[in-house]
């Protein structure tokens, strides 16, 4: 990739990440000008109760040309936060990471370079080269990846890696239902079902230095299991209707 892309939307979901949001926005303000001629930064506050929303609003007031905030009045779940981020994005390329700072934004260049490859993929998804998470989350991840391979034929290394880049036009006909952790896999499954090309790139993963992870919460896991089987059964018995269920990923018109 020569130079920078013309325009890039970057968003991140946050829930009770008051310690992380300001350094993450500072990192984005430093790095994104190296990657894109124009960019936007969107924080999706998913019903935080620790002051995250107030910090996000202050940052949006300080940098009104590039920082925006989407608020959920109550916690709606990880998938709902991702859907809100996609819908708020306005530029032709859309990328996201989590708000816990376990990825470095300079590594988004790896995804951008791959997107401009000769095969012109529709989406580039990261996979964590060495996952910096507690053992229980690693066990869940291996079992989940195996289930996705067995029941969906989804062969990506790391379906839940929160470092993804998508061409906005590839999302035009995609509708998503999950409000929880299954949404990342649902997105990949439905992109594939639409005939879109998804490729992978390895990215470093860093330990969390502030805040608390919730991915191993039994309620989060059970919600993902429910959404997993709901989609699997619908694709088996009513594929066409399964693909049009849920909310459209995109919001308003694309900005040039």
CATH code for position 20: 3.90.550.10
pTM for this prediction: 0.92
Q: Is residue 253 part of a domain?
A: no
What pLDDT does residue 207 have? 84
Q: Is residue 94 part of a domain?
A: yes
Classified as helix, coil or strand, 119 is coil
Classified as helix, coil or strand, 243 is helix
How many CA atoms, within 13 angstroms, populate the side-chain half-sphere of residue 125?
A: 21
**Average pLDDT for residues 16-33, to the nearest whole number?**
96
Can you give the residue range of the structural domain that contains 239?
5-248
What pLDDT does residue 3 have? 67
Q: Is residue 150 part of a domain?
A: yes
Q: Is residue 112 part of a domain?
A: yes
Instruction: Enumerate residues 6+ apart whose C-beta is below 8 A from 131.
Output: 138, 141, 158, 205
What pLDDT does residue 16 have? 93
**pLDDT at residue 7 greater than cutoff 90:** yes
Confidence of residue 133 (pLDDT cuts 50, 70, 90): confident
Q: Is residue 234 part of a domain?
A: yes
Q: How far is CA 204 from CA 11, 192, 209, 252, 255, in A?
A: 19, 25, 15, 33, 31
Q: Is residue 239 part of a domain?
A: yes
**pLDDT at residue 108 greater than cutoff 80:** yes
How many Å apart are CA 244 and CA 24, to the nearest integer?
35
**pLDDT at residue 67 greater than cutoff 70:** yes
What pLDDT does residue 219 have? 81
Confidence of residue 214 (pLDDT cuts 50, 70, 90): low
Q: Which helix (H) or strand (E) holds 12?
A: strand 5-14
On whether the CB atoms of residues 183 and 231 are closer than 8 A, the answer is no
What pLDDT does residue 191 have? 96
**Average pLDDT for residues 49-71, to the nearest whole number?**
97
How many independent structural domains does the chain possess?
1
């Amino acid at each position: 990739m020569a130079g920078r892309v013309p325009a890039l939307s970057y968003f991140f979901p946050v829930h009770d990440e008051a310690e992380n949001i300001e350094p993450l926005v500072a990192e984005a303000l430093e790095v994104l000008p190296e990657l894109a001629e124009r960019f936007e930064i969107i924080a999706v506050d998913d019903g935080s109760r620790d002051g995250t929303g107030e910090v996000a609003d202050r940052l949006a007031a300080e940098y009104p040309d590039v920082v925006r905030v989407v608020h959920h009045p109550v916690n709606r779940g990880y998938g709902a936060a991702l859907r809100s981020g996609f819908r708020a994005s306005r530029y032709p390329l859309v990328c996201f990471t989590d708000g816990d700072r376990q990825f470095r934004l300079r590594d988004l260049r790896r995804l951008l370079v791959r997107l401009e490859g000769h095969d012109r993929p529709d989406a580039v998804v990261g996979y964590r080269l060495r996952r910096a998470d507690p053992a229980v989350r690693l066990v869940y991840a291996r079992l989940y990846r195996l289930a996705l391979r067995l029941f969906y034929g989804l062969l990506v290394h790391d379906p839940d890696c929160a470092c993804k880049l998508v061409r906005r036009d590839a999302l035009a006909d995609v509708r998503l239902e999950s409000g929880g952790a299954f949404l990342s896999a649902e997105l990949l499954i439905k992109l594939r079902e639409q005939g879109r090309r998804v490729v992978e790139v390895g990215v470093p993963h860093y330990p969390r230095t502030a805040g608390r992870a919730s991915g191993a919460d039994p309620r989060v896991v059970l919600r993902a299991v429910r959404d997993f089987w709901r989609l699997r059964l619908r694709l088996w018995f009513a594929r066409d209707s399964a693909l049009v269920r849920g909310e459209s990923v995109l919001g308003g018109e694309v900005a040039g």
